[in-house]
């Protein structure tokens, strides 16, 4: 019987598949120290970005044959080192695109119409529409950075909302832009033309800090910015400066630098204290449908790899 350790949450449907033929240790709260001490016993590991799988952990995992991620991003894993040790890595691209795209649109509407803040204030018995003067979304220019699975789904919904859709993505064919009725632009052109900008790139060396002071200076006065991919793609200090100065009207993020495990405390940052910064705790893909699909797909991939 093979041994599998699951170091972050996984829906029951995935755990049941794994348990059919394997011994499973489900320990979503495990500390790094405990994982380092135990990993030598396991043939496979499943975990999300809250649990970094670096060289030290992989080195100690002398029996590891597969690492599964019930999500899209694999930036928390030392992929090159794992592959050099013949460890296969499985993620589940596409399973959460609808969920994240829908949530992106939700954040966008919230930025333009203040739904969250208005609800919060109204429940405190303040009834005053003057604080929530909004912006219409129809006919605005939407700039999508990264026209992959999530970005292109956002584009399709934005088309239906009568937005003018622009996108930048140096790694895909022009056909992909045409399929979703998005005009292809360079990053610089997109930043200059967009009223609302939304980020859907993987975290890589190239995308790390890809929106910094220089890029913000190219954006329109009063532009809106959304980050639904990874915190590190934004220079958070530069974004906080732009919110304070009013250059950016508002920013929404579902991800942030230094995310703790669920239930943990965020490190204090200036961005968190900034007035027009809306933030959610990495819940873009956090729907029953997406999580069930992710759990069963990653479990099946791991079982296949261990055969």
| Angstrom distance (rounded) from CA 38 to CA 292 | 27
Q: Please report how close the Cβ of residue 104 comes to ligand NAD at its closest, in angstroms.
A: 9
- The reply on whether position 114 binds ligand NAD by CB under 6 A is no
Q: Closest distance between ligand NAD and the C-beta of residue 88, in Å?
A: 19
Per the listing, tokens 């059919």 go with 20
* Among residues 68, 70, 97, 224, the one that binds ligand NAD under rule CB under 6 A: 97
Token pair, residue 101, equals 């795209």
Phi, psi of 95 (to 5 degrees): -65, -25
Binders in 51-90 for ligand NAD, by CB under 6 A: 71-73
- Sole residue written with tokens 């800090």: 209
Of 201, 180, 177, the C-alpha closest to 73 is 201
Stretch that binds ligand NAD, among 12-20, 82-90, 228-236, 257-265 (CB under 6 A): 228-236
Catalytic residue, from 259, 261, 270, 300: name it. Answer: 259
Applying CB under 6 A, among 14, 47, 143, 151 the residue interacting with ligand NAD is: 151
Site size for ligand NAD (CB under 6 A): 33
**Cα-Cα end-to-end distance for the chain:** 11
Token pair, residue 194, equals: 């967009």
Contact stretch for ligand NAD (CB under 6 A) within 21-29, 126-134, 141-149, 154-162 = 141-149
Contact between 73 and 230 under an 8 Å Cβ cutoff? The reply is: yes
Output the CA torsion sign for 220, 241, 276, 236.
positive
Which residue's CB is nearer to ligand NAD, number 216 or number 285?
A: 285
Residue choice 57, 282, 297, 298 for contact with ligand NAD (CB under 6 A): 282
Alpha carbon distance 271, 274 (integer Å): 5
Structural contact between residues 213 and 241, judged by C-beta atoms closer than 8 angstroms: yes
CB atoms within 10 A of CB 292: 15
Minimum distance, C-beta of residue 28 to ligand NAD, in the bound complex (Å): 17
Q: Would you say 101 and 157 are in contact if contact means Cβ atoms under 8 Å apart?
A: yes
Active site residue 149: no
Catalytic-residue membership of 114: no
Pick from 254, 271, 291, 305: which binds ligand NAD (CB under 6 A)? 254
Shortest Cβ 128–ligand NAD spacing (Å): 33
Query: If DSSP codes are grouped into helix, strand and coil, which group holds residue 209?
Result: coil
The residue written with tokens 């100690």 in the block is: 60
Is 230 a catalytic site residue? yes
Kindly state the smallest distance separating residue 66's Cβ from ligand NAD, in Å.
20
Give the nearest distance from C-beta 112 to ligand NAD in angstroms: 20
Binding site for ligand NAD (CB under 6 A): 71-73, 93, 96-97, 100, 145-151, 168-172, 200-203, 206-207, 228-230, 254-255, 282, 284-285
Q: Which positions are annotated as active-site residues? A: 230, 259, 282
């Amino acid at each position: 019987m093979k041994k599998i350790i699951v170091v972050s949450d996984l829906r029951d449907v995935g755990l049941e598949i794994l348990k059919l033929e394997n011994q499973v240790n489900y320990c979503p709260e495990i500390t790094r120290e405990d994982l380092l001490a135990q990993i030598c016993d396991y043939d496979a590991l499943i975990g999300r970005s809250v649990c970094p799988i670096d060289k030290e952990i992989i080195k100690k995992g002398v029996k590891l044959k597969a690492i599964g991620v019930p999500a899209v991003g694999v930036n928390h894993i030392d992929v090159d080192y794992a592959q050099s040790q013949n460890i296969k890595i499985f993620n589940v691209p596409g399973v959460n695109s609808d969920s994240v795209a829908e949530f992106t649109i939700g954040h966008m509407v919230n930025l333009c119409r203040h739904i969250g803040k208005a609800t919060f204030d109204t429940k405190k018995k303040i009834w005053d529409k003057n604080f929530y003067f909004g912006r219409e979304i129809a006919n605005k220019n939407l700039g999508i950075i990264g026209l992959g699975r999530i970005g292109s789904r956002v584009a399709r919904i934005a088309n239906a909302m009568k937005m003018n859709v622009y996108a930048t993505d140096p790694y895909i064919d022009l056909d992909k832009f045409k399929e979703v009725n998005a005009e292809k632009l360079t990053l610089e052109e997109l930043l200059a033309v967009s009223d609302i900008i939304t980020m859907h790139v993987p975290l890589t060396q190239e995308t790390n800090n890809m929106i910094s002071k220089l890029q913000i200076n190219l954006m329109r006065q009063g532009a809106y910015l959304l980050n639904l991919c990874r915190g590190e793609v934004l220079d958070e200090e530069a974004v906080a400066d732009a919110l304070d100065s009013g250059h950016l009207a508002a920013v929404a993020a579902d991800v942030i630098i230094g995310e703790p495990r669920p239930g943990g405390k965020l490190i204090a940052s200036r961005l968190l204290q900034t007035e027009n910064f809306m933030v959610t705790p990495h819940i873009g893909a956090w729907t029953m449908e997406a999580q069930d699909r992710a759990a069963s797909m990653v479990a099946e991939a791991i079982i296949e790899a261990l055969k």
